[in-house]
Amino acid sequence: NAGVMQNPRHLVRRRGQEARLRCSPMKGHSHVYWYRQLPEEGLKFMVYLQKENIIDESGMPKERFSAEFPKEGPSILRIQQVVRGDSAAYFCASSPLAGTDEQFFGPGTRLTVL
């Protein structure tokens, strides 16, 4: 029973490029959450999605960041025109059907912006 999968595990981009981070939730989970972790910091909530719906994006920066969770395929966190401040670890979590609180995290994608 595979856990939450994220790829790539490490991503290097130059300033101004685009970064695409992918997350496949655990089998049977239809809720996906994205978090960002800066060095020596806790995780900060970014966005919560269900299939084909963004439920809560209150933690997402208003510009350059977007997220989707299509009917088929993984959830994608997209960062356009990356800047050095975007360098962080990005974690995806999934949870089972609505009404359950447990969130299970993937291994993360470590983004480095040069």
Which own/partner pairs from 81-85 qualify as long-range (CB within 8 Å, at least 24 positions apart)? 81/15, 81/16, 81/17, 81/18, 82/13, 82/14, 82/15, 82/16, 82/17, 82/18, 82/19, 82/111, 82/113, 83/15, 83/113, 84/15, 84/113, 84/114, 85/113
Q: Does 68 bind another protein (CB under 8 A)?
A: no
Which region among 11-19, 67-75, 80-88, 95-103 touches another protein (by CB under 8 A)? 95-103
Q: Is 102 in the site for another protein (CB under 8 A)?
A: yes
* Residue from the set 17, 80, 81, 100 that interacts with another protein by CB under 8 A: 100
Residues that bind another protein (CB under 8 A): 4, 6, 31, 33, 35, 40-48, 55-56, 58-59, 91, 95, 98-108
